[in-house]
């Protein structure tokens, strides 16, 4: 070796520091472990590193002390000194690790370290064979005392060795302990008298000790490296564990994967995917999604993406969940990995669907509602323009629904609507939209079809389907449907125009006798406009008192004496001439002008009838619409009171529909009038759907058999039977029975024979403004 003396000393000190530092690093690693064999193993490694270091420092320093002379050492004490160094510090290290804060332990452990280092030194010195060694006691005491001081100071730092700064400080102090003991002791050590013989096999030379020292340093280096690796591994492992713990606290499912292979999933992921957290490792992550949405997931697995996408999760039990996913890249177990956050949005999607169902669908029938209709028809019209294929709109109105509700109650009616909806849905194609516009009105949007054939076919199928009776709770009811059809095109290019056209066609279908369908024609539109004009003119006519009243006699069958007159309104239009009530009364009803009209006719008729002999009755028609006014009865009573018209002479003719619209209100009004002495007549008896049930509703004073039965009397035996039945019924209920529309003697004869009380018709007298003239004649 060509090192100088100070070179050897520096090397010795460096080895002392390095091995101390390694031992402290190992101790720091051991301190982070729980007790047990592993920790004890690491403790032994720390003791080995330190012990080897102390021993090596000693023998390298000895090279400097002996000034390069070849010194021989006895083998046994040399080995023993190494064992002492290692075994001596082991309990010291164990003590400080188990109670690093205890003052006593730290001092005790420091003392043990100093003792071990000192023992090693003097045992090592005793191995010198080639010289006699003697010590100055002062130096021995001083060396041990300094060593003790540095050892205690070093171990005082023991709770700071988890940081590198703390490790360096402790290592420096330990090195000081080693150096102090060695060099202070050596300063008082003298060598004398070289002993022989050399070459005994119990002796080792300087080179061997240096080689051993080198081996020790290597061993320390290995221990140090292992410790560093271990520490790094542990840190990564802890980090991953912390990540997992954190991830388990989130509501979102988290899946960590590497190149699409699942590494780990949290417990929330199990809730979404149904794959237990323990079994997910190694799973092909893409398989979580259904075939259709797998591509979306695969994109996230290949490259993390900020975009939030939706997938459908297919669970092992076959059920599906809707989930939102988002991906990121992370470090997992020290390597690049991907993480996918999976949020289950099935419930909120369902709630949204439910809300949109409520907004767009009719809760009773499950069909679309008006909102859906408005949206769909907008689209359909645009599509029709683009595809140049007209779309058909069918508006369907159910017949006799009001009567069914009246007869069987509303819950029954609701059920009927559901049956109707089901039948309607069965008649359409997938592309068609069936909606309930409200009440008993339905509509179908029929796009992309060969028109007008497709619409006609559909309308026909619906008419047939609705004509078949419905059987609900063992009750069979027959309704029927009227359908108006309009095709989009020049005349109807907006939803509003299309709906209006279909409505006009529907009106026509209803007038055509119901249970039928009708296509919109331009002529209807003209009629519609005419109607609006008529409405305007009627309003004016009422204001300018241009309406008049005619009177038609009612004749007693047997005496052929006139018993009274029915007031019938007349309108002489300025340019159109005389307009029939059947044409303008419906307009008056639609526009509520009927209220004003009804008051006018009553007042006018009462005033006129006051000029007649006292025994003539006066019959006035009251429209069902007038009953929507809660003051109707009071208004009528006010008029007759004001004119002092005897209530007993007044008859009010109502049709059965009065008791269908708002039955309760009508019954109150009728009851009030009857109590006042006014007689109530059930007009047009036999034409309605539930005429018979009406008789039980209210104690009518008189029935008027509809003229359709009278018209058929001479030819049709059935009609005669019906008339006889009505008469028998009326008699048994103590009602007067009248027949209207008597036009010939044959009819009169039959009615007479059947025992009819009163007759009315062109045969007996036409409506006229001056009825008394005719009676006199």
Q: Which of 417, 683, 689, 736 binds Ca ion (CB under 5 A)?
A: 683
Q: List the one residue out of 152, 78, 82, 75 whose CA is nearest residue 112.
A: 152
**Options 308-316, 454-462, 547-555, 680-688: segment touching Ca ion (CB under 5 A):** 680-688
Q: Which is nearer to ligand C2E, 262 or 585 (CB)?
A: 585
Residue 583 tokens, joined: 């044409």
* Site for ligand C2E contains 601 (CB under 6 A): yes
> Is 306 a binder of ligand C2E (CB under 6 A)?
no
Which of ligand C2E, Ca ion, none sits in contact with 554, Cβ below 5 to 8 A by type? Answer: none
Contact call for residue 441 and ligand C2E (CB under 6 A): no
Answer for which of 118, 365, 621, 691 binds ligand C2E (CB under 6 A) is: 621
Site string for ligand C2E, 638-667 (x = CB under 6 A): ---------------x--------------
**Read out DSSP for 177-202?**
HHHHHHHHHHHTEEEES-------TT
Quote the tokens at residue 381: 């019209």
The answer to whether 550 contacts Ca ion (rule: CB under 5 A) is no
Cis before residue 258, ω within 30 degrees of 0? no
| Piece in contact with ligand C2E (CB under 6 A), picked from 3-11, 41-49, 318-326, 621-629 | 621-629
Which residues inside 667-686 make contact with ligand C2E, applying CB under 6 A?
A: 683-684
Contacted entry of Ca ion, ligand C2E, none for residue 185, CB cut-off 5 to 8 Å set by kind: none
DSSP letter at 443 equals E
How many residues belong to the site for ligand C2E (CB under 6 A)?
24
Question: Taking Cα atoms as reference points, which of 185, 342, 208 lies closest to residue 265?
Answer: 342
| Contact partner at residue 552 from Ca ion, ligand C2E, none, CB < 5 to 8 Å by partner kind | ligand C2E
Residue 367 neighbours by CB under 8 Å, 6+ apart: 361, 421, 424, 425, 434, 435, 436, 442
Nearer to Ca ion, 346 or 548 (CB): 548
For Ca ion, the closer of residues 720 and 740 by Cβ is 740
The residue written with tokens 């510090």 in the block is: 89
CA 236 – CA 228 distance, rounded (Å): 12
684 is a site residue for Ca ion (CB under 5 A):
yes
Per 3-state DSSP, the chain is made up of helix, strand and coil in percentages (nearest 5) of: 55, 20, 25
Site string for ligand C2E, 126-165 (x = CB under 6 A): ----------------------------------------
* Residue span 549-588 as binding mask against ligand C2E, x where in contact by CB under 6 A, dash where not: ---x--------------xxx----------xxx--x---
Token couple for 589:
């009803």
What end-to-end distance do the CA atoms of the chain give, in Å? 166
623 touches ligand C2E by CB under 6 A: yes
Report strand pairing: 203-204 vs 309-314. unpaired
Q: How near is the Cβ of 718 to ligand C2E at its closest, in Å?
A: 20
399 binds, among ligand C2E, Ca ion, none (CB under 5 to 8 A by kind): none
User: Nearest approach, Cβ of 594 to ligand C2E (angstroms)?
Assistant: 6
d(CA 558, CA 527): 46
Looking at the DSSP bridge assignments, the partners of residue 289 are 313
Return d(Cα 212, Cα 202) in angstroms, integer.
16
The tokens for 102 are 């205890």
Cβ distance to ligand C2E smaller for residue 22 or 747: 747
CA-based max dimension of the chain = 183
Select 344 or 653, whichever has its Cβ closest to Ca ion: 653
CB of 582 to ligand C2E, least distance (A): 5
Distance CA 527, CA 192 (A): 145
Question: Is 761 one of the binding residues for ligand C2E (CB under 6 A)?
Answer: yes
For β-strands 547-556 and 562-573, DSSP reports them as antiparallel
Our CB check for Ca ion shows the closer of 440 and 653 to be 653
Pick out residues in 600-659 that bind Ca ion (CB under 5 A).
621, 653
Shortest distance (Å) from residue 364 CB to Ca ion: 36
**Options 41-49, 371-379, 442-450, 761-769: segment touching ligand C2E (CB under 6 A):** 761-769
Residue closest to Ca ion, measured at CB:
653
Instruction: Tell the smallest beta-carbon distance from residue 651 to Ca ion (Å).
Output: 10
Buried b (16+ CB within 10 A) or exposed e, 28-55: bbbbebeeeeebeebbbbbbbbbbbbbb
Q: Report if residue 273 touches ligand C2E, rule: CB under 6 A.
A: no
Q: For residues 272 and 321, is the Cβ–Cβ distance under 8 A?
A: yes
Residues 624, 625, 630: CA angle, nearest 5 degrees: 100
Please report how close the Cβ of residue 412 comes to Ca ion at its closest, in angstroms: 30
Is-contact 259 285, C-beta < 8 A? no
- Please state the φ and ψ torsions of residue 123, each to the nearest 5 degrees: -65, -45
Residue 102 φ/ψ, nearest 5 degrees: -75, 130
Contact 625/594 with Cβ under 8 angstroms? yes
Q: What part of residues 691-750 is at the interface with ligand C2E (CB under 6 A)?
A: 707, 740-743
- What does the chain come to in residues? 777
373 vs 584, which CB is nearer to ligand C2E?
584
Distance CA 210, CA 380 (A): 99
Choices 174-182, 258-266, 484-492, 620-628; region in contact with ligand C2E by CB under 6 A: 620-628
Q: What x-and-dash track marks residues 719-748 binding Ca ion by CB under 5 A?
A: ---------------------x--------
Integer Rg of the chain from CA: 57
> From the list Ca ion, ligand C2E, none, which binds 251 (C-beta under 5 to 8 Å, kind-based)?
none
Residue in this structure with the two tokens 């004890």, named with its chain if needed: 40
Work out how close the CB of 681 gets to Ca ion at its nearest, in angstroms, rounded to a whole number: 8
Residues that bind ligand C2E (CB under 6 A): 552, 567-569, 580-582, 585, 598, 601, 621-623, 653, 683-684, 707, 740-743, 761-762, 767
Binding site residues, Ca ion, CB under 5 A: 621, 653, 683-684, 740
């Amino acid at each position: 070796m060509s090192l100088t003396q100070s070179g050897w000393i520096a090397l010795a000190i460096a080895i002392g520091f390095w091995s101390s530092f390694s031992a402290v690093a190992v101790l720091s690693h051991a301190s982070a472990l729980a007790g047990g064999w592993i920790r004890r193993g690491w403790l032994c490694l720390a003791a080995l590193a330190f012990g080897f270091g102390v021993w090596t420092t000693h023998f390298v320093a000895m090279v400097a002390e002996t000034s390069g002379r070849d010194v021989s050492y006895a083998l046994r004490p040399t080995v023993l000194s190494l064992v002492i160094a290692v075994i001596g510090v082991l309990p010291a290290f164990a003590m400080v690790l188990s109670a690093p804060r205890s003052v006593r332990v730290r001092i005790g452990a420091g003392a043990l370290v100093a003792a071990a280092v000192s023992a090693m030194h003097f045992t090592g010195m005793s191995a010198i064979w080639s010289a006699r060694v003697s010590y100055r006691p002062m130096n021995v005491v001083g060396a041990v005392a300094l060593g003790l001081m540095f050892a205690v100071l070093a171990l005082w730092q023991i709770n700071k060795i988890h940081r590198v700064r703390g490790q360096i400080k402790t290592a420096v102090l330990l090195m000081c302990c080693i150096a102090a003991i060695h060099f202070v002791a050596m300063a008082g050590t003298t060598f004398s008298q070289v002993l022989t013989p050399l070459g005994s096999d119990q002796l080792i030379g300087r080179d061997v000790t240096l080689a051993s020292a080198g081996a020790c340093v290597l061993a320390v280096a290995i221990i140090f490296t292992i410790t560093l690796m271990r520490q790094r591994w542990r840190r990564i492992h802890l980090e991953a564990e912390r990540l997992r713990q954190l991830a388990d606290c989130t509501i979102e499912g988290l899946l960590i994967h590497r190149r699409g292979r699942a590494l780990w999933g949290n417990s929330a992921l199990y809730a979404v995917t149904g794959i237990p957290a323990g079994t997910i490792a190694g799973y092909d992550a893409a398989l979580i999604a259904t075939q259709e949405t797998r591509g979306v997931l695969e994109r996230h697995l290949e490259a993390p993406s900020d975009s939030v996408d939706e997938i459908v999760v297919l669970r092992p039990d076959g059920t599906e969940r809707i989930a939102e996913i988002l991906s990121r890249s992370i470090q997992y177990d020290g390597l690049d990995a991907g993480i996918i956050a999976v949020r289950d949005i099935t419930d909120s999607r369902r709630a949204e669907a439910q809300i949109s169902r409520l907004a767009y669908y009719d809760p009773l029938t499950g069909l679309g509602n008006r909102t859906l209709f408005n949206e769909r028809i907008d689209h359909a019209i645009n599509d029709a323009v683009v595809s140049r294929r007209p779309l058909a709109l069918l508006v369907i109105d159910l017949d006799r629904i009001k009567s069914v509700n009246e007869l069987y109650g509303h819950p029954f009616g609701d059920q009927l609507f559901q049956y109707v909806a089901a039948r309607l849905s069965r008649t359409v194609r997938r592309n068609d939209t069936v909606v309930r516009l409200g009440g008993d009105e339905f509509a179908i949007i029929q796009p992309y079809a060969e028109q007008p054939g497709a619409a006609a076919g559909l309308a026909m199928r619906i008419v047939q389907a609705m004509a078949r009776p419905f059987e609900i709770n063992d009750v069979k009811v027959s309704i029927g449907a009227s359908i108006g059809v309009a095709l989009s095109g020049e005349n109807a290019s907006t939803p509003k125009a299309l709906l209006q056209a279909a409505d006009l066609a529907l009106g026509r279908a209803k007038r055509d006798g119901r249970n039928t369908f009708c296509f919109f024609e331009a002529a209807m539109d003209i009629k519609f406009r005419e109607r609006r004009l008529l409405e305007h003119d009627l309003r004016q006519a009422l204001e300018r008192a241009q309406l008049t009243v005619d009177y038609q006699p009612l004749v007693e069958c047997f005496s052929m004496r006139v018993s009274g007159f029915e007031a019938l309104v007349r309108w002489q239009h300025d340019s159109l001439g005389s307009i029939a009530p059947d044409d303008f009364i419906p307009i008056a009803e639609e526009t509520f002008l009927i209220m004003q009209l009804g008051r006018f006719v009553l007042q006018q008729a009462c005033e006129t009838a006051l000029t007649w002999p006292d025994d003539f009755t006066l019959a006035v028609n009251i429209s069902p619409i007038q009953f929507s006014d809660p003051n109707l009865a009071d208004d009528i009573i006010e008029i007759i009171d004001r004119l002092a018209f005897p209530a007993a002479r007044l008859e009010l003719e109502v049709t059965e529909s009065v008791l269908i619209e708002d039955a309760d209100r009508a019954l109150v009004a009728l009851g009030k009038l009857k109590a006042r002495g006014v007689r109530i007549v059930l007009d047009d008896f036999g034409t309605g759907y539930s005429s018979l049930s009406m008789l039980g509703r209210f104690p009518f004073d008189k029935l008027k058999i509809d003229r359709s039965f009278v018209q058929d009397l001479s030819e049709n035996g059935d009609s005669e039977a019906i008339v006889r039945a009505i008469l028998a019924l009326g008699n048994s209920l103590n009602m007067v029975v009248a027949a209207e529309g008597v036009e010939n003697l044959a009819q009169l004869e039959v009615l007479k024979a059947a025992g009819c009380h009163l007759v009315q018709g062109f045969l007996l007298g036409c409506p006229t403004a001056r009825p008394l003239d005719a009676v006199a004649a």
